[in-house]
Amino acid sequence: MSRSAFERYAPFIQEYIYRKNWTDLREVQVDACEAILDTDNHVIVASGTASGKTEAAFFPILTALQQNPSNTIGVMYIGPLKALINDQFQRLSNLLEDSYIPVWPWHGDISQSIKKRALKEAQGILQITPESLEALLMRHPGDAVRLFSDLRFIVIDEIHALMGTDRGLQVMCLISRVEKMTNCSPRRIGLSATLNGYAPALEFLSAGSKRKAISVGIGSNKRTISLCAESFMLPEDEKKAQAILEEYNQFLYENCHNKKCLIFTNSRKGAEKVIASMKELASQKQERDIFYVHHGSVSAELRHEAETALRDNNGPTVAAATLTLELGIDIGDLDSTIQVGAPYSCASFVQRLGRSGRRTEKSQMMFVDLFEQSYDTPFNMLPWSLLRSIAIVQLYLETRWVEPFSLKTKPFSLLAHQTLSTLMTYGELSPVDLARNTMTLPAFSQVTQEEYRLLLQNMLAEDYLQRMDSGGIILGLTGERIANHYSFYAVFQSEEAYHVHTQNGEIGTLDSCPSVEEVFVLAGRCCKVQSVDEERKIIYVHLVKNSRIPHWSGSGGDIHAKIVQRIKTVLLEDTVYSYLQPGAVKVLSQARQFAKESGLLNTDIIPLEENSFYLCPWTGTKELATIKNLLLYGLKNEFEVNNVAGGENYLKITTGLSIDDFIKKLQKLNLDAHNPSIVLPAEQAPKIDKYDYMVPDLLLRRAALSNQFDVPSAMKILKALSL
């Protein structure tokens, strides 16, 4: 046991450690103890899943709180999921059993009686979601002041899941608003399993404060990693393809049915599909059905059922999940994880890998890929999913690389939201005071005063705001109606969904409504539609056999340029990676041979016909999308572009110029990177974020240019092109 840290902990924490029979503290816990007790900095605790981050942060925080008790809530814990707060509430309750420090959960499912007790006592730890904190500041500012006037620490869990999103920016706005309202300056402690010490993470944590941020725990996780990857290639022959598909499903079954295992997929449809196949095989083999589905369209009750089964069942239990089980909800000791297809990011890979091996400290992850060649373009001959898996694994193994986070520079939707929220808090404000309360929030540091003036003018014109005779600004009738609706607290888009009900209650939601008598799968159950209540958006079903898998909207996200560049290196090098299984070795070997023989690796431009060619600059999806829009709009006339088509890996370009002339013109390229018209048609003002309907078109175009595209990188790529 590390005596230096252990001896500094409060007695009730020492007793807790004895009860747990711990013989030593982990390195991250020792480092966090020193960072929190010996400095005044904000701290990021970045260490692998189940590596003791929560204890690393809370042991010294609670020690400090016991030594110098707060007059109000001393610690505010912000969790991105209600389920995560519920899970952490149980863990902290056990820890605080002998401490006399209360802990209060606070979110939409918590009873009013518990919230009233928390308000009355105003002591200890408050665990809250961003949305509930928004509601508290808007509707009960007096209670917020009473709760947080002597706040010492703010713990932000799963900080990587918030960074780079409007919700993350909202959290930083809320923290700044708490500080302004209460005149306190709490330290911020961020917890993450996937950060690698990037400066943006530290800047994000310290935004708007006078303290600097430091990180601990990076590189301290000693867990070993066991990886393997297998690939199945579907032939053109339909009969042979069916046999390979059955082999693929059998392989999945054999690697999960006798374990506690999470199967990660990149879509809700994928999760339903894999569990439907596993259930069918279990039935054929007359073996137990141990399979669950866990994604955002499965009801909360059934998601909880899956989590409980994974955590509490003694025998094999398998759940297929999307992003919903990436975060640190306690699901006990898993034997392994399986990734169907490739994750979109290194961050996602690290998070999913860390879900297994809590007991053995050996994380096991298997990649399983089903590759269907298409001969319509040379690029579709490549197994992109397998290649992306290899690239992500190699980047992490070689350098522990994880994607850096980028923040929106023009979050106008959030600015409109925080303007309404601020007025709900304070009532009437002068334009100067309104600007002082909103524009000083850290999320809006790159929004100009002129841009805010344009936003306010539009919100006044559309009755979201109203100007009083005194010159002050209040909420307009339309703005009041929006701000008074419960959905206002969330800044992320909520889906308009149909709720699916059996006789036993809701099982989940669908994006679109199936017809009566139609059969589909949801939450691993085969459902036949009996009737539809269109007004209430309820689909009544009964359970049957046979099924189809429904489709839900949504995309996997951007792929970073570094991953795509590593894919190219994978194709260029001859390394046979030790974790590849025989099928994956064969698929990779064929891909390398084809890539070299076809010339795909020798040039970014591959001539197709006299005035058309493929462009594959081996860059990220954001840069490629920017290039596509530049060619369709800003460069269309000058470069005589007739058509641009293609997916996330390449573009097919048809132009009136010869390829040589096209390249020569690109080398002289000079564009105004601040003009939205170079990537958007003149009439287009994309409404992407939740409150974009309050934002004038001019600002929407600026937001799209700044937040969606990367014009400097795209121009650099285009100017460097050659045959």
Task: For residue range 324-339, list pLDDT tens digits in order.
Answer: 888 767 788 889 999 9
In whole angstroms, give the CA distance from residue 320 to residue 307.
11
Query: What per-residue confidence (pLDDT) applies to 6?
Result: 92
181-201 average pLDDT score: 84
Closest CA to 61 of 37, 34, 29, 78: 37
pLDDT of residue 354: 82
Q: What value does the mean pLDDT take over residues 489-495?
A: 83
H-type helices in 207-267, by residue range?
238-254
Closest CA to 349 of 303, 319, 391: 391
The pLDDT assigned to 288 comes to: 95
- Ordered DSSP codes for 498-557: EEEEETTEEEEEESSPPPTT-EEEETTEEEEEEEEETTTTEEEEEE-S------------
Angle at 84 between CA 78 and CA 90, to 5 degrees: 100
Cα distance between residue 553 and residue 220, in whole Å: 39
- Look at residue 218 in the predicted model and tell me its pLDDT: 67
Instruction: Find the mean pLDDT for residues 137-165.
Output: 93
Q: How far apart are CA 367 and CA 388, in angstroms?
A: 11
pLDDT band at 645 (very low <50, low <70, confident <90, very high): very high
Dist. CA 65–CA 151, nearest whole Å: 10
Residues 636-654 as b/e (b if ≥16 CB within 10 A, e otherwise) read eeebebeebebeebbbbbe
Q: Which of 295, 314, 228 is nearest to 582 (CA)?
A: 228
Q: How confident is the model at residue 82 (pLDDT cuts 50, 70, 90)?
A: confident
Residue 722 corresponds to which tokens in the numbers above? 């050659």
| Paired residues of 612 in beta bridges | 609, 654
Cα separation, 300 vs 597, in Å, equals 52
Query: In the predicted model, is pLDDT for residue 447 greater than 80?
Result: yes
Q: Supply the pLDDT for residue 180.
A: 95
DSSP result, 194-214? S----HHHHHHHHTTSSS-EE
Number of H helices, E strands in the chain: 25, 24
Range in 151-155, 393-397, 664-668 with the lowest mean pLDDT: 664-668
| Helix spans in 24-129 (H) | 27-38, 53-67, 82-95, 112-121
Q: What percent of the chain has a predicted confidence (pLDDT) above 70?
A: 96
In sequence order, the β-bridge partners of residue 499 are: 509, 538
Could you tell me if 413 and 451 are in contact, meaning their C-beta atoms sit under 8 angstroms apart?
no
**pLDDT confidence bin for 376, thresholds 50/70/90:** confident
386 vs 134: CA distance, rounded Å: 42
Cα–Cα dist 638/571, whole Å? 35
Both structure tokens of 526: 């085969």
Per-residue confidence at 146, pLDDT binned at 50, 70, 90?
A: very high
Sign of the torsion formed by the C-alpha atoms of 568, 573, 579 and 583: positive
For the chain, what is the mean pLDDT? 92
Instruction: Please give the Cα distance from 552 to 216 (Å, whole number).
Output: 39
- List the one residue out of 488, 433, 494, 491 whose CA is nearest residue 138: 488
Fold of 3-216: Rossmann fold (3.40.50)
What pTM was estimated for this model as a whole?
Answer: 0.90
Please give the structure tokens belonging to residue 269. 């449809």
Name the residue among 129, 132, 185, 123 with its Cα closest to residue 157: 129
Q: What whole-number distance in Å separates Cα of residue 591 and Cα of residue 381?
A: 8
Distance in angstroms (rounded) separating the CA atoms of residues 160 and 86: 20
- Distance of alpha carbon 537 from alpha carbon 534, whole angstroms: 5
Give the C-alpha distances (Å, rounded to integers) separating 363 from 22, 251, 366: 21, 20, 10
Q: Which CATH class is domain 224-399?
A: alpha beta
pLDDT higher than threshold 90 for residue 72: yes
Q: Would the CA dihedral through 35, 41, 45, 46 be positive or negative?
A: negative
- Rounded Cα–Cα distance for residues 217 and 221 (Å): 7
- Which pLDDT score is estimated for 261? 95
- Confidence at residue 63, expressed as pLDDT on a 0 to 100 scale: 96
Checking phi first, is residue 188 left (phi over 0); if not, alpha (psi -120 to 50) or beta? beta
Query: 671: buried, middle or exposed (CB in 10 Å: 19+, 13-18, 0-12)?
Result: middle
> What is the rounded distance in angstroms from the CA atom of residue 151 to the CA atom of residue 133?
14
Query: Is 358's pLDDT higher than 80?
Result: no
What's the CATH class of domain 412-484? mainly alpha
pLDDT band at 639 (very low <50, low <70, confident <90, very high): very high
So what's the pLDDT on residue 489? 95
Mean predicted confidence (pLDDT) in 635-644: 94
Say what the pLDDT of residue 91 is: 85
Segment 302-311 mean pLDDT: 92
Distance CA 385, CA 570 (A): 13
DSSP 8-state class, residue 684: -
**Residue 198, pLDDT score:** 64
Q: How far apart are CA 97 and CA 103, in angstroms?
A: 10
Q: What are 623-634's pLDDT values in tens digits?
A: 999 999 999 999
Q: Assess whether pLDDT exceeds 80 at residue 661.
A: yes
- Measure the CA–CA gap between 58 and 37, rounded to whole angstroms: 11
Q: Going by C-beta distance under 8 Å and a sequence separation of 6 or more, which residues neighbour residue 505?
A: 299, 301
The pLDDT of residue 222: 61
| CA–CA gap between residue 688 and residue 705 (Å, rounded) | 12
Residue 433 vs residue 361, higher pLDDT: 433
| Mean local confidence (pLDDT), 90-109 | 90
What own/partner pairs with CB < 8 Å and gap ≥ 24 does 680-685 have? 680/629, 680/633, 680/704, 680/705, 681/633
Q: List, edge to edge, every strand of the sheet that includes 124-128.
A: 103-106, 124-128, 73-78, 153-156, 187-192, 42-46, 213-216
| 221 has pLDDT over 60 | no
What's the whole-number mean pLDDT along residues 73-102? 90
Dihedral pair phi/psi, residue 124, rounded to 5°? 85, -135
When pLDDT is averaged across residues 714-722 and rounded to a whole number, the result is 91
pLDDT greater than 80 at residue 359? no
Residue in the structure block whose two tokens are 């009860």: 19
Handedness of CA 55, 58, 61, 62 (dihedral sign): negative
Tell me the C-alpha distance between 503 and 356, whole Å. 36
- Burial of residue 692 (number of CB atoms within 10 Å: 0-12, 13-18, 19+): middle
183 CA to centre of own chain:
32
Using an 8 Å Cβ cutoff, are 332 and 310 in contact? yes
Ranges of each domain in the chain:
3-216, 224-399, 412-484, 498-543, 603-719
Structure confidence at residue 245 (pLDDT): 95
Q: Given pLDDT bands bounded at 50, 70 and 90, which one contains residue 495? A: low
Place of tokens 């708490």: 178
Provide the residue type at 462 as one letter. Answer: E
- H/E stretch holding 127 reads strand 124-128
Share of the chain above pLDDT 90, in %: 72
| Intrachain domains 3-216 and 224-399 with the same fold | yes
